[in-house]
């Protein structure tokens, strides 16, 4: 009742996330510009449009 010894090969893969710093920087600049435009628009509304009501 002895079973033969089985050999099992295990394949390992190391996954590394690549980060392109120029892509990260350009994305940050893009969203920073969106935020500045948004707050600039809010400032315009509060300063010039809302006082007219």
The predicted model gives 25-52 an average pLDDT of 96
Q: What is the pLDDT of residues 5-32, one digit of tens each?
A: 778 888 888 888 777 888 999 999 999 9
Mapped to the 3 state alphabet, what secondary structure does the chain carry? CCCCCCCCCCCCCCCCCCCCHHHHHHHHHHHHHHHHHHHHHHHHHHHHHHHHC
Q: What's the whole-number mean pLDDT along residues 30-42?
A: 98
Instruction: Compute the average pLDDT of residues 25-48.
Output: 97
Cα torsion angle, 44, 46, 47, 50, sign: positive
| Whole-structure pTM value | 0.57
Residue 1 and residue 16: Cα distance in Å, rounded? Answer: 46
Going from N- to C-terminal start, the domains of the chain cover 26-52
């Amino acid at each position: 009742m002895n079973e033969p010894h089985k050999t099992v090969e295990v394949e390992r893969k190391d996954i590394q996330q690549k980060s392109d710093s120029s892509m990260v920087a350009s994305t940050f600049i893009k969203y920073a510009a969106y935020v500045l435009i948004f707050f600039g628009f809010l400032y315009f509304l509060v300063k010039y449009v809302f006082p007219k009501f």
